Amino acid sequence: MTSPKTPLPALVDSHCHLDFPDFQGELPGLIARARAAGVTRMVTICTRLGSEPSVRAIAEAHEGVFYAAGTHPMQVAEEPMATVEALTALADHPKFVGIGETGLDYHYTAESADVQQESLRLHIEAARRTRLPLIIHARDADDDMARILAEEHAAGAYSCVMHCFSSGPRLARTALDLGFYLSASGIAAFPRSEELREIFAAAPLDRILVETDAPYLAPPPHRGRRNEPAYAALTAQWVARLWDLDYPAFAAATSANFDRLFWKAA
């Protein structure tokens, strides 16, 4: 007589992009594979407000899928400026759980730094008003990001996750000191990410989330190929070692962190 199969620990993919063309026509199978891997919830992120209706429809159609919306910093210069009113109005939807992603990206789009900063501050105000977490993208902009996050928090508290965190220790410390969360993507498992792993290992476990950023940044052994929410389990298994935890304990801890921050999805 065979014993019942032990259920996999439940895990959350806190950041993916299910509306991207990479997944067109594949969502039922994609979500089924995630559930089979124990990834029972995921947040799909809208990066252009004009795409919000299609991202919302994905969340409405699938159990365990929630969504957030904002204007990605790399798109700010070519998109209409988001308004606080438009962002806060989205919060009426029961599956809308976060503001963003927003932030600063000076790696590819430094020429639009001023308008990125304006957009970021508008998203922060929307996060304040809705009490929903801000979802931050930061690349090659650590000084300005740390300054703006701190200035705005002093003007009025808000919650925040540093999505796909891959910045330096100063920005990590600023975020943690403000009560924010750091999210680990597949980058944390890359061979050359030792400094990043040291940053995560020094952070409190109760401030850590896990994500895929799918279809990007697949962890080993899928690096260089398309990422998907099921692979959040691979990243979590790798990152759990930084706290000397077994996978079930780490999955439980990061799921509890997600519930605390993304309270509407709890």
**15 labelled binding-site residue:** yes
> Sheet harboring 11-16: ordered strands across?
11-16, 39-46, 65-69, 96-105, 134-139, 160-162, 181-184, 208-210
**213 labelled binding-site residue:** yes
**105 labelled binding-site residue:** no
How many CB atoms sit inside 10 A of residue 252's CB? Answer: 14
**151 labelled binding-site residue:** no
Question: 217-220 contacts: CB < 8 A, separation 24 or more?
Answer: 217/164, 217/185, 217/186, 217/187, 218/186, 219/185, 219/186, 219/189, 219/190, 220/186, 220/189, 220/190
- With CA atoms as reference, report the closest residue to 145 among 187, 201, 107: 107
Q: Which residues are documented as binding site for a divalent metal cation?
A: 15, 17, 101, 137, 163, 213
Q: Which residues are documented as binding site?
A: 15, 17, 101, 137, 163, 213
